[in-house]
Amino acid sequence: MFSLALFKREMKANITLLTIFIYLLTMYIVLIVYMFNPGSGTGWDDIIKLLPAVMKAAGFTAAGNTLIGAVATGLYGMIVLMIPMVFTIILGNKLVAGYVDRGSMACLLATPNKRVKIALTQALSLWVSIAILITYITVAIIVSSAIMHPGLLDIGKLVQMNIVLYFLHIALSGICFFASCISNDTKRSFTIGAGIPVAFFLIQMLANMGGKLENLKYFTLFTLFNTTDIMAGNSIVSPVLILLAVAIVLYGLGIFIFSKRDLPI
């Protein structure tokens, strides 16, 4: 069902982009872990008190005096939502529409590989690339915490956060992939594939403000990623299954439409 040659080609082509985002995430991870001061927490709580409305909208909540709380506040409020999302948008945009736009799709279709096989391979490369990025985030936090604050990180809760985070980005990537499958050029693909995830994030920021705006949380996928619930010990099964279902539907529809529609080749 997959083309190994095409998969290897895509993964090799993704190395540079992946390296850039890994480098960017590393800087933030090391900084946030370094900022933690055992016993007195971090400076996050003071910043939140100074700019409560802004910080609340951005998803930053009180960190408390635990390392996992500091990580959840400093990284999982915005950083590991936005940076991997940008990575997903860039990558998802070029996987199908990019080939059609450049005229390279004709070369792929000239091989024995059928459209469904090509689309499934491109989807797999996106899932694996996101998995590499989220796995790196997990390992980097664990290693930097072990070096600077040995024994203080709740690794179990961190892993649970990143499991939900992975499926959140898989669901978001489904939007990008679907847009890429239905588009003949990267401009249209990018407009849809970037526009909807960014809109979801902005809606989530409004919902974070609370009050009457809180009901907006039902109109964004980001609501399903709740670090407060995870740290409280709530099960991650429901959000993971919902996000996975969203991803399967979007990828399935994208592949089906791509396999049936006329292409300008």
Which sequence spans correspond to the domains of the chain?
Answer: 4-260
Contacts of 11 (CB under 8 A, 6+ apart): 125, 128, 129
What's the CA gap between 82 and 75, in Å, rounded? 10
Confidence of residue 239 (pLDDT cuts 50, 70, 90): very high
37-71 residues labelled b (16+ CB within 10 A) or e (exposed): eeeebbebbebbeeeeeebbbbbbbebbebbbbbb
Tell me which residue of 130, 100, 182, 116 sits closest to 22, measured CA to CA: 130
pLDDT > 60? residue 41 = no
pLDDT digits (tens, 9 = 90+) for 9-25: 889 988 999 999 999 99
Pick the residue with more confidence: 29 or 58? Answer: 29
pLDDT > 50? residue 54 = no
pLDDT digits (tens, 9 = 90+) for 30-39: 998 988 877 6
pLDDT digits (tens, 9 = 90+) for 184-208: 777 888 899 999 999 999 888 888 7
Percent of the chain with pLDDT over 70: 86
Percent of the chain with pLDDT over 90: 47
pLDDT digits (tens, 9 = 90+) for 126-147: 999 999 999 999 999 999 999 9
pLDDT (0 to 100) of residue 104: 66
- Residues 19, 115, 182, 218, CA torsion sign: negative
Q: Look up residue 264 and give its DSSP letter.
A: -
pLDDT (0 to 100) of residue 27: 94
Tell me which residue of 86, 97, 106, 240 sits closest to 161, measured CA to CA: 240
What's the CA gap between 153 and 222, in Å, rounded? 24
Average of per-residue pLDDT values in the chain: 85
pLDDT (0 to 100) of residue 245: 97
pLDDT digits (tens, 9 = 90+) for 64-100: 578 898 898 888 888 899 999 999 999 888 787 777 7
pLDDT (0 to 100) of residue 118: 87
CB-hemisphere CA count at 13 Å for 244?
A: 8
Pick the residue with more confidence: 45 or 235? Answer: 235
Query: What residue type is assigned to position 119 of the chain?
Result: A
pLDDT > 80? residue 48 = no
